[in-house]
Amino acid sequence: MRALSICAVSSSWFARFKLKLIASIAKIMASRRKYAEGMGFLKHIRRLHGVCAAETWTRAPYLGERAPRALCALGNVQSLLDRAASCAWGCSRGDHCAEFLVGRAVSSSNAAMLLMTNGHYDEALSLIRSTGEVANLVCLFITDRALFERWKSIDDKTRRKEFRPVRVRQQLKASEGPLVIDEDLYDVLSGFAIHPEPGGLVQAHNALSRSLLLPIFQAEGFVKCINELARTMAFVAVFAAAFIKLPDKVKQNLRDAGRELVKNIGGVNLDEKERPWFSPSGVSMPE
């Protein structure tokens, strides 16, 4: 009995001692934790960007069935649009306004790809919004060429007023033209990195909806960006075929590349609010 009692006391004392020891060690570790500062912090972020980019492209071929195909199709669309915007098939000697506009979408798309490769998914989505704005504008201009001429001829202040994104969407809606980015999607895309919202989590593209401030690979964020970028750039490709003076064969290639891209857009997009089904391996991704 006595032996048992001693044993119980010893056990209780040991548990308290263990807890105190763990707390002390945690306190010491916290006090010794050294955060990088100045150039050291920038170097730390650069290193994380490299790690994130390497993981992104190592994992990319295994992110489900559609995402790898969409990436390849996106590369084809980007390549064709890059050449179309750069007079690669001959110069029409015009004012190049159509080429500049398509070139803007290509540049934003390249930059979005850079950001999503390096773990900045929110910022990539804000650039994807820009590609959608260009797609809407080009759609309006191929629907009504007179508007394109007006857009080119008016002063900056009037242009910003008459062709601001909301006006372009309203005009497309009124003419029943295709709307690449509607009001709802525009608001959602704006909420990621352009218009700060109270309680808006930063870089939370994971099954736990946990904010990861440092550039760390998040499969859901990457796939979501691929699908949203694929959607806007597929439209840019199809519209560019009708907007820029190009050989017929190139126009057909652009339309085909755009359609191929649309075919491979997956189910992970900004409509998904709940994410319990998401699996980074891609196995349980919905169609």
As measured in angstroms, the least distance from the Cβ of 233 to Zn ion is: 22
Closest distance of CB 90 from Zn ion, Å: 8
Give how far Cα 95 sits from Cα of 52, 91, 124, 153, Å. 41, 10, 30, 12
Q: Which residues contact 167 (CB under 8 A, 6 or more apart)?
A: 161
C-beta of residue 273 within 8 angstroms of C-beta of residue 145: no
**Nearer Cβ to Zn ion, position 21 or 91?**
91
Nearer Cβ to Zn ion (49/104): 104
Q: State the amino acid at position 143 in one-letter form.
A: T
Distance in Å, CB of 125 to Zn ion, minimum: 32
CB-CB neighbours of 196 under 10 Å: 8
> Which window, 56-64, 86-94, 237-245, 267-275, contacts Zn ion (CB under 5 A)?
86-94
Q: Tell me which stretch binds Zn ion (CB under 5 A): 60-68, 83-91, 113-121, 195-203.
A: 83-91
The window from 9-17, 62-70, 88-96, 189-197 that contacts Zn ion (CB under 5 A) reads 88-96
d(CA 183, CA 180): 10
Instruction: CB nearer to Zn ion: give 50 or 94.
Output: 94
Q: Mask: binding to Zn ion, 97-116, rule CB under 5 A, as x and -?
A: --------------------
CA-to-CA distance for 50 and 117, rounded, in angstroms? Answer: 9
Q: How far is CA 201 from the centre of its chain?
A: 16
Q: In sequence order, what DSSP letters do the residues of 136-154 get, joined into one string?
A: HHHHHHHH-HHHHHHHHHS
* Closer of 15 and 91 to Zn ion (Cβ): 91
CB of 86 to Zn ion, least distance (A): 8
Q: How far is the CB of 99 from Zn ion (least distance, A)?
A: 7
Name the burial class of residue 125, with classes exposed (0-12), middle (13-18) and buried (19+) by CB atoms within 10 angstroms of its CB.
Answer: buried
Does position 91 bind Zn ion by CB under 5 A? yes
Closest to 203 (Cα-Cα) out of 271, 122, 125, 270 = 122
Report the amino acid identity of residue 75. G
Using CB under 5 A as the binding rule, whether residue 213 contacts Zn ion is answered as no
Question: Applying CB under 5 A, which part among 89-97, 130-138, 161-169, 175-183 lies near Zn ion?
Answer: 89-97
Kindly state whether residue 87 participates in binding Zn ion, applying the rule CB under 5 A.
yes
Q: Choose one: 80-88, 156-164, 205-213, 214-222; the region binding Zn ion (CB under 5 A).
A: 80-88
Q: Which residue's CB is nearer to Zn ion, number 94 or number 200?
A: 94
How far is 164 from 158, CA to CA, in rounded Å? Answer: 10
Q: Is 51 in the site for Zn ion (CB under 5 A)?
A: no
Which residues here bind Zn ion, judged by CB under 5 A? 87, 91
